[in-house]
Structure 1
Amino acid sequence: MTFLTVLILFFIVGAWGLETWVGKLNIQSLGQPIPAAFKHAVDAQKYARSQEYTRKNSTVSFFSNFVNVTAIVMCLFFGIFNTFNEWASALFSGAILQGLAFLGIVSLASMLLSLPFSIYTTFVIEEEFGFNRTTPALFIADRVKGILLSIIIGAPLAAGVIWFFQIFPNMGWLIAWGFATAFLFAVQYVAPIWIMPLFNTFTPLEDGELRQAIEEFALKTGFNLSGIYIIDGSKRSNKANAFFTGFGKQKRIALFDTLVNSMTTEEIVGVLAHEIGHCKLNHIKRMFATSIATTGLTFFCLSLVLGYQPLYAAFHVEHMTIAVGMVLFNFLYTPLSLVLTIFAAHQSRKYEFEADAFAAKTTKAPCELSRALIKLSVNSLSNLTPHPAYVFLHYSHPPVVDRIEALETITVE
């Protein structure tokens, strides 16, 4: 066993150990009493139910992570990636096709490992707690569409990256970075038009009180909309949501039908004011810029190890290829990836507070957003008392109790 093998094993098991420890702290944190902001909205029975929901999902997450780390360790010691590479070489000739085949095999294996947990979560846990509306046929259709999209969208991106690294050994990372950035821009543009409608039906919001209130708020804040749509989220889950898609002149508001059916007009406008705040405060552009910078750093680091033979030897891979190197690099990149993920989550939580403040000040009704956040949390059985370490490691949004407390301190003129 080489030093590099020990180092990679330490990264893999260490990341899993950190995740397991933080998850345990989060479960222990469930013993706290009902937060004051929720005492009027949650009784003891409902609160206990939300805690049980968190416990069961955490248990599934633990076993899922355990299976994944076990599979990776097996790949490290038994040369499974070498076997996958040999299969890819037997199927196709040419570095790009072989590389795509290898990445496809790895992706398929990963999907098969996670599939039992997805099925259990959807049809057992979500069903038990009254959220699931996904039928087996819809579940299968979603997976098939996901695979097809991975082939249609992911394969050209991966092929381009492989080709650039192959043709330009020294500057391939820089060209691949530019290619990936342009590709991401294109996907952002076409997603609301061609991709999202494959999974959900987008129906224009009819004229009425809600549409008028949304349009008036958008006009007041100088936010241009290309459309307001109702999305049939209820065909999969009872949980509510709202989001923006697209950029430039293609910005759309998508409201889950479950959201429209469970909230007042003022509460919905409060939620959308928060989302508009992200745009007006340039959060989306900043996060996209951060993502681009992270991609560039990742490609640069990848370029440093693609030709490093000991990395392949650590996984018992006999033939060095770009596609195999891309997969193996992920395990060596684990510590830096964790740091970047934590940083991005920290920035995201900061932006959420700022968007809340924007919504409170522009609607002049912070209480409406607070009520909406309480409803969303109660209806989705959210964990109201997450452990700070778990929040630090995982949460892209601040705990809802912290958001409500922050809203209460905002002075509206």
Structure 2
Amino acid sequence: MDAQTLFFIIIGILTFEFVLERTLSYLNYTWYSKPIPTVVDDVYDAAEYERSQEYKKTNFRFGTISSSVSFVATVLFLFLDGFAIVDTWARSIADNEILIAIVFFGIIAIAGELISLPFSYFGTFVIEERFGFNKTTKKTFILDKLKGWLLTALLGGGLLAVVVLCYQWAGDNFWWYVWILVFLISVLMNMFYARLFVPLFNKQVPLEEGELKHKISAYAATVGFQLDKIFVIDGSKRSTKANAYFSGFGSEKRVTLYDTLIEKLTQEEIVAVLAHEVGHYKKKHIIYNLIASTLTTGLTLWLFSLFVDSDLLAQALGVGSASFHIGLVAFGLLYAPISRITGLVMSSLSRKFEYQADHYAEQTYEGLPLINALKKLSSSSLSNLTPHPAYVFFHYSHPSLQQRIKVMQA
């Protein structure tokens, strides 16, 4: 195989992924007007249903435009030898392989941000604003971006430097050390993300004493679950949409409730949602997800180690000889089909875990409050009640609302 053939294979992969995504989105779009299933026909009244339809159609059109721009920009960049040009720029700025890699990816990240930033702004301040979801001020939007860029530069740049250093030191066996490093980072992020990173963007306060906290504590006691850390996060700072999540394990386990969730649900419904989250912990879903992601990462790194030194991969991107950062880009483009498969496996596993957590909540608390909570949350976010099965299979980490309710009622 020569470099030109490999180049067109990369273009073919990108084109296939783009066409697949747009086809799935269109199939989903064609199901918007399907009759609402009986089990969820009370989620919307007539006016709200019409509003949800318009919201979905607007996002479909917006997604088509934004993804098309991204696809065209990427293909043009490849045809114009963009990676070779950026590689030359990086080498003119730095002469150390670690610094060259950091500068190279820094330039790519800036270019990507310049393309995506207008779409991000439009999505937040036009679409979300139009449908009454947006609570983000322009100041918050700018600060979020600045903080995100800074964290990416510090943590992403630091991790990249360590990975390149491992490559220079260990050669073909570098992937072992990077795998161990990524595993340790994953564990630490699972344990301390809510404590260390969430406060950079949101305020978290312990749930105040009162009837809700008493009911949560009473439920936790019935299932033998020690839950000392229940926090409320100011989700209303950015959106009216509601959520709750479980994070950490061991002494660092905590439940975080959005303030919007507390506003929209009754206390019984909140406890039911919490029971679902406790179900994830009791069923060891966090551990299983960590194991699955670790195995996936190991496979990816091993495959990457086989191709990182390939001059052919570098030449396919218009670069004369192999380097770590060029090998990483080329491998990332070629790895997309495998990533798609592993993503499907992880999504399927996640949907299975959601059913198990729902069942746990039914067994240890009540099913009806959880069903009512799910309906309210779907209504408040104008969720799609009739998603296409193919779209669910490829994209949903949770079963559809109809699927979840049917299983619980059965």
How many angstroms does 1:224 deviate by?
Answer: 2.3
Alignment match of 2:311 (pick from 304, 309, 312)? 309
Worse overlay, 79-88 or 123-132: 79-88
Alignment match of 2:326 (pick from 324, 327, 334)? 324
- Please state if 1:56 is matched with 2:32: no
Q: Aligned partners of 1:187, 1:401: CA distance in 2, in Å? A: 33
Worse overlay, 54-63 or 375-384: 54-63
Q: Aligned partners of 2:315, 2:302: CA distance in 1, in Å? A: 22
How many angstroms does 1:315 deviate by?
Answer: 1.3
Q: Aligned partners of 2:174, 2:300: CA distance in 1, in Å? A: 13
TM-score normalised over the length of structure 2: 0.97
In structure 2, the residue matched to 1:143 is 145
Task: Return 5+ residue gaps in structure 2 as ranges.
Answer: none
In structure 2, the residue matched to 1:180 is 182
Over residues 119-140 of structure 1, what are the superposed CA-to-partner deviations in whole Å (9 max), with x where a residue is unaligned?
A: 1110011001000000111001
In structure 2, the residue matched to 1:351 is 353
In structure 1, the residue matched to 2:199 is 197
How many angstroms does 1:26 deviate by?
Answer: 0.2
The secondary structure found in structure 2 opposite 1:271 is helix
- Please state if 1:116 is matched with 2:113: no
Amino acid in the other structure paired with 2:369: E
How many angstroms does 1:61 deviate by?
Answer: 1.5
Kept in 1: contact 2:191–2:253 (CA 8 A): no
In structure 1, the residue matched to 2:376 is 375
- Please state if 1:393 is matched with 2:394: yes
In structure 2, the residue matched to 1:267 is 269
How many angstroms does 1:246 deviate by?
Answer: 2.0
How many angstroms does 1:319 deviate by?
Answer: 4.2
Amino acid in the other structure paired with 1:210: L
The secondary structure found in structure 2 opposite 1:243 is strand
Kept in 2: contact 1:200–1:231 (CA 8 A): yes
How many angstroms does 1:225 deviate by?
Answer: 2.4
In structure 1, the residue matched to 2:385 is 384
Kept in 2: contact 1:11–1:335 (CA 8 A): yes
Kept in 1: contact 2:191–2:248 (CA 8 A): yes
In structure 1, the residue matched to 2:91 is 89
How many angstroms does 1:85 deviate by?
Answer: 1.4
Q: Between the two proteins, what is the percent identity of the paired residues?
A: 41
Task: Return 5+ residue gaps in structure 1 as ranges.
Answer: none
Amino acid in the other structure paired with 1:295: T
In structure 2, the residue matched to 1:129 is 131
Over residues 331-367 of structure 1, what are the superposed CA-to-partner deviations in whole Å (9 max), with x where a residue is unaligned?
A: 100110001111111111111111100001100x100
In structure 2, the residue matched to 1:291 is 293
Amino acid in the other structure paired with 1:237: S
Alignment match of 2:220 (pick from 218, 221, 224)? 218
Kept in 1: contact 2:276–2:357 (CA 8 A): yes
How many angstroms does 1:144 deviate by?
Answer: 0.5
- Please state if 1:402 is matched with 2:381: no
How many angstroms does 1:41 deviate by?
Answer: 3.3
Kept in 2: contact 1:366–1:407 (CA 8 A): yes
In structure 2, the residue matched to 1:77 is 79
In structure 2, the residue matched to 1:227 is 229
Worse overlay, 89-98 or 394-403: 89-98
The secondary structure found in structure 2 opposite 1:170 is helix
The secondary structure found in structure 2 opposite 1:169 is helix
How many angstroms does 1:213 deviate by?
Answer: 1.0
Over residues 352-400 of structure 1, what are the superposed CA-to-partner deviations in whole Å (9 max), with x where a residue is unaligned?
A: 111100001100x100000000000001000110000111110000001
How many angstroms does 1:101 deviate by?
Answer: 1.3
Q: Aligned partners of 1:67, 1:325: CA distance in 2, in Å? A: 25
Q: Aligned partners of 1:366, 1:81: CA distance in 2, in Å? A: 54
The secondary structure found in structure 2 opposite 1:244 is strand
Q: Aligned partners of 1:218, 1:21: CA distance in 2, in Å? A: 45
